[in-house]
Amino acid sequence: MMRYTINQKIKSGLLLLVIVFFSFCKKNEFTAPAIVPDASYPQVGTPYTGVLNSQDAIIYQVNLRSFSTDASFKGVTARLDAIKDLGTTVVYLMPVTPVGVLKSAGGLGSPYSVKDYKGVNTEFGTLADLQALVAGAHERGMTVILDWVANHTSWDNAWITAHKNWYKQDDKGNIIAPPGTGWTDVAQLDYSNREMRAAMIDAMKYWVYTANIDGFRCDAADFVPFDFWKDANDALKTITSHKLLMLAEGTRNDHFKAGFNLVYGMGYYSTLESKVFGTGASVTMLQDLNTSEYATSYPGSQVVRYTTNHDVYTTDGSPVNVYGGKAGSVAAFVVTAYMKGVPMVYTGQEVGTTRDMNFFYHNPVDWTANPDLALLYKGILNFRKNSDALKNGDLTVMSSDDVAAFTKATDKEKVLVIDNLRGNNVTYNLPATVSKTGWKDAFSGTAVTLTEKIYLTPYRYMVLTQ
């Protein structure tokens, strides 16, 4: 990702102010600049200096309505130690803003129907509660990012009555829902309007200062124009007191160019769930995605890979059901977390929850379920967290039709993963280029000697180091 020096930022900022001044003098109306000057909101707390580089991120997605029995910020704060112990380094909070009531899609309404970009949903608590959650995460060495919904607002957002021209309209002048989506509970914003774009960037800056957050997960990023994301990322980089992580939920090939450090691996999930597990397609399809999903990446940028999230959990089901049981869900996660990219875990995934977690309702997770599974996730993620080879090493792929196999290596560490993604016994032929000796189990430390043919029981995986 391209970065600017401080001197360049100062020069750019001064040039921008000159442009804005003369634009104002030339016209009787104010034209908002593409990059909004710093709004100078009061800084709450001390900016967190421990924000990790992209490759060090291990993301935990918090569904606030399912995370605790009272669906509150305080409920998340109370479990921050558990989130950290799991091995994750980034806490990603689903939208915290008030939810629209007009034309609500049902239940408690969609958290992605934003009524006020600078408000806090009282369902979850107060701004002070959110600030305490962020401070608690920072104290534990974790980064916090907020879900940001830039494409649309609720129908009762104040922008609709105050600035109708900020929205897309039909030929009769009626504001419309996002075309082709079926999202009738939200109104489509018009990104040809410069004032709206300026207000959106201003609201994003507000949260950086007011809640001391460390970045954003940008919802439906494919629906929002590239030039806006470029402007927004550039504007946020002018907040030199904060290092920010920016994650785009989308498949468009220009998100890295727009300045995002992280982009969703939607193709990876689709291939894993519907093809490798769904139809028994060759496991080699997963390693092929390492080329396509990184084709437009920049040095330091990463693809986020997952076996579930709030959307696909709702449509496809729990990983335990999708991947052939608890053992299959873990085998799927090992290759997802280790082969290439940044892993993401969704609320309750680590305890194998299978309950309905429709995010339009309160559906609290039972955190006492499946402690054996939670231990496996903890081992997998903490090894990834502490392995330089997995985070930064050179990847060599050698999968078969049934087994995901690869090495990640640096000068000081080599990791070998052999992972049966089938619900039956398989035999994997070890390539001659892979040493049979000198290995130890990554989790137990036990010495392991390999054979030319490796027999794997259903969903068995091996993670070895040397």
Asked if residues 385 and 89 have their Cβ atoms less than 8 Å apart, the reply is yes
Q: CA 201, CA 185: separation in Å to the nearest integer?
A: 23
In tens, the pLDDT along 232-263 reads 999 999 999 999 999 999 999 999 999 999 99
pLDDT of residue 37: 65
Task: Note the pLDDT of residue 40.
Answer: 77
Tokens of residue 221, six digits: 């990023």
What SS3 string covers the chain? Answer: CCCCCHHHHHHHHHHHHHHHHHHHHHCCCCCCCCCCCCCCCCCCCCCCCCCCCHHHCCEEEECHHHHCCCCCHHHHHCCHHHHHHCCCCEEEECCCCCECCCCCCCCCCCCCCECCCCCCCCCCCCHHHHHHHHHHHHHCCCEEEEEECCCEEECCCHHHHHCHHHECECCCCCECCCCCCCCCCEEEECCCCHHHHHHHHHHHHHHHHHCCCCEEEECCHHHCCHHHHHHHHHHHHCCCCCCCEEEECCCCCCCCCCCCCEEECHHHHHHHHHHHHCCCCCCHHHHHHHHHCCCCCCCCCEEEEECCCHHHHHHHCCHHHHCCCHHHHHHHHHHHHHCCCEEEEECCHHHCCCCCCCCCCCCCCCCCCCHHHHHHHHHHHHHHHHCHHHHHCEEEECCCCCEEEEEEECCCCEEEEEEECCCCCEEEECCCCCCCCCEEECCCCCEECCCCEEEECCCCEEEEEC
**Among 219, 254, 68, which residue's Cα sits nearest to residue 145?**
219
Q: Are 415 and 406 in contact (CB under 8 A)?
A: no
* Residue 141 CB neighbours (<10 A): 11
Count of residues making up the chain = 466
Both tokens of 102, joined, read 């007009």
pLDDT at 368: 97
- Which CATH number applies to 39-390? 3.20.20.80
Q: CA 106, CA 376: separation in Å to the nearest integer?
A: 37
Structure tokens at 70: 């009272």
Query: Which residues 6+ apart lie within 8 Å of 353 measured at CB?
Result: 318, 320, 365, 366, 369
Rounded distance, CA 204 to CA 238, Å? 13
Query: What is the Cα–Cα distance from 405 to 399, expressed in whole angstroms?
Result: 4
- Residue-level pLDDT at 39: 72
What is the per-residue pLDDT for 34?
57
According to DSSP, the β-strands at 90-93 and 143-148 are: parallel
Distance of CA 86 to the CA centre of its chain: 17
Instruction: Yes or no: say if 83 and 60 are a contact pair by the CB < 8 Å rule.
Output: yes
- List of residues 6+ apart from 455 with CB closer than 8 A: 425, 426, 427
User: Given phi > 0 = left and psi -120 to 50 = alpha, else beta, which region is 370?
Assistant: left
Domain ranges of the chain: 1-31, 39-390, 403-465
Intervals of the chain under pLDDT 70: 1-35, 37-38
Residue 144 pLDDT: 98
Bridge-partner residues for 343, per DSSP?
305
Over residues 286-342, the pLDDT tens digits come to 999 999 999 999 998 999 999 999 999 999 999 999 999 999 999 999 999 999 999
Contact, 384 vs 335, CB < 8 A?
Answer: no
Nearest to 115 by CA among 100, 105, 125, 127: 100
CA distance readout (Å), 192 to 135, 203, 294:
37, 18, 30
- In the CATH scheme, what architecture does the domain 403-465 have? Sandwich (2.60)
Both tokens of 239, joined, read: 């907040």
Residue 203 backbone phi and psi in degrees, to 5:
-65, -35
110 touches 155 (CB < 8 A): no
